[in-house]
Structure 1
Amino acid sequence: MSDPEDVLRLTGLRKAYNPGTPLELEVLHGLDLRLQRGELTALIGPSGSGKSTLLNVIGLLDSPTDGELYLLGRPTRDMNDEARTRLRNEAIGFVFQFHHLISAFSVLDNVLMPLMIRHGKPTAEDIELARGLLAEVGLADFAGQKANQLSGGQQQRVAIARALVTRPALLLADEPTGNLDTRTAESVFELFRRINREYGCAVLVVTHDPRLSSSCRRSIELVDGRIVSDSGEAFNQP
């Protein structure tokens, strides 16, 4: 039975490439995992352990081969593409190592992009929300600038504001500080911690930086497609 506090629940989740062929390769092996509202969790593990594959499945960008993924209590494995896209846009925010900002657009328009994809021309409320988020990340005075005029750390803050503009229940971050210097990386991660406290969304961060992972309240280690440790093991029950 799902807990109403569960944002994400995986039960027996497997992911294989080329299933049913001589080239079949299983990358994720029967994962059970729960993330609850307000959790700040690091996903760690060596290169090739399946972290990116897991993030793509959790983000509804890819489908599991077996098992089930529940997002806000809704089973997703058998959803069609339209339903998955709608749920992803409503419930999940993404922050990547590379910002994927549109350089020709203003900072404000980059933040508004998920809402424009959802319902076209932004409303006055949308614009007010986006400006408020830019203020939250310390970039209120940069709304009219082009994205490519900002530093790497500032661009990552824009990407965080963009990820939050849909008020997601789950924020996924894939090596969000990987291209930043140590001082900037710490300031960006402090922003994640503050957002997690103030917005109450579940945050899952893939990182190789032990300083960042140790500052998360929960840390999950993935090795060869299996969870080998979970500091929040009490949550990791199906």
Structure 2
Amino acid sequence: MSEAQPAVLRLAGLRKSYNVGLPNETEVLHGLDLVIERDDFAALIGPSGSGKSTLLNLIGLLDQPTAGELYLLGEPTSTMDDAGRTRLRGESIGFVFQFHHLVQAFGALDNVLMPLMLRHGRPGPAAIDRARSLLAAMGLEKYAQTRPNQLSGGQQQRVAIARALVTQPSLLLADEPTGNLDTRTAADVFELMRRFGREVGCAVLLVTHDPRLSAACDRTIDLVDGRIVSDTRAPTGPSVTG
């Protein structure tokens, strides 16, 4: 019998402090324990100042915890050097932000391919086909050569989602990805992330202040004052448009 696959993400006693060793040392995350499985589509919620951005930076391997351990695909990351963290981040994590950060000089297809270009140089035919397929699935096939400033906000965010998925990550981190969109477009973008999370087989952790979006997730993790105060699963998978 083969061993079960490790969780995509596991936090064990994770702590984060700033100004360590100084009189104004402040701990903002207080010993968090959390597991994100491969089929999770979870919302991370909490008031401003609760530590959501700090936690997302740690999960994305953009910062290091003060204490505790963060396991990504079973690998402990606290003792990794910068090169190891960069490798694991690039191979395993996709990012979608409130501001899409597309490169205005490039068309949609090259923007989707950007993570692969940065890692390998000009991608080969298989990678280009994958990027085109993602654009087509986002309803953007005819915009492959269109620059971002000629696309609507919703279209630009769909390009950003395709870019995050082109590396076939195990974990998609989405930080207020619909914050700049109208309600209808936000719902469409949300449903695309849900569908592709399932089809690509990656876990999704969505940071949002929108109660409609969090209620439509399968799981809601509530962070208050640097502590997880609740972690609940929905009895069914509701639609954000329902």
TM-score by length of 1: 0.95
Q: Deviations over 1:101-152 (max 9, x none)?
A: 0011110000000000111111111111100110111111100111111100
Confirm whether residue 183 of structure 1 aligns to residue 146 of structure 2.
no
Confirm whether residue 74 of structure 1 aligns to residue 68 of structure 2.
no
Instruction: Indicate the larger mover: 90-99 or 143-152.
Output: 143-152
Aligned length, in residue pairs: 232
Query: What is aligned with 1:64?
Result: 65
Query: What is aligned with 1:236?
Result: none
Query: What is aligned with 2:10?
Result: 9
Shift of 1:20: 1.2
- d(CA) in 2 for partners of 1:191 and 1:5? 26
* Paired amino acid for 1:116: M
Query: What is aligned with 2:122?
Result: 121
- d(CA) in 1 for partners of 2:184 and 2:178? 10
Instruction: Give the secondary-structure state (helix, strand or coil) at the position aligned to 2:34.
Output: strand
- d(CA) in 2 for partners of 1:137 and 1:50? 32
Gaps of 5+ in 2: 235-242
Query: What is aligned with 1:84?
Result: 85
* Paired amino acid for 1:202: A
* Paired amino acid for 2:169: P
Confirm whether residue 196 of structure 1 aligns to residue 197 of structure 2.
yes
Query: What is aligned with 1:48?
Result: 49
Instruction: Give the secondary-structure state (helix, strand or coil) at the position aligned to 1:86.
Output: helix
Query: What is aligned with 1:152?
Result: 153
Query: What is aligned with 1:24?
Result: 25
Instruction: Indicate the larger mover: 66-75 or 2-11.
Output: 2-11
Instruction: Give the secondary-structure state (helix, strand or coil) at the position aligned to 2:29.
Output: strand
Q: 1:220 to 1:130 in 2, by over 3 A?
A: same
User: RCO greater where, 1 or 2, for CA within 8 Å and sep 6 or more?
Assistant: 1
- d(CA) in 2 for partners of 1:69 and 1:136? 33
Shift of 1:5: 4.3
Gaps of 5+ in 1: 234-238
* Paired amino acid for 2:36: L
- d(CA) in 2 for partners of 1:208 and 1:28? 19
Instruction: Give the secondary-structure state (helix, strand or coil) at the position aligned to 2:8.
Output: strand
- d(CA) in 1 for partners of 2:67 and 2:125? 44
* Paired amino acid for 2:57: N
- d(CA) in 2 for partners of 1:208 and 1:3? 34
> How many percent of aligned residue pairs carry the same amino acid?
71
TM-score by length of 2: 0.94
Query: What is aligned with 1:218?
Result: 219
Instruction: Give the secondary-structure state (helix, strand or coil) at the position aligned to 1:231.
Output: strand
- d(CA) in 2 for partners of 1:185 and 1:5? 32
Contact 1:104–1:148 at 8 Å: present in 2 too?
no
Contact 2:6–2:74 at 8 Å: present in 1 too?
no
Shift of 1:232: 4.2
Q: CA RMSD in A?
A: 1.3
Shift of 1:3: 5.9
- d(CA) in 2 for partners of 1:27 and 1:11? 16
- d(CA) in 1 for partners of 2:60 and 2:138? 23
Runs of 4+ in 1 over 3 A off after TM superposition: none
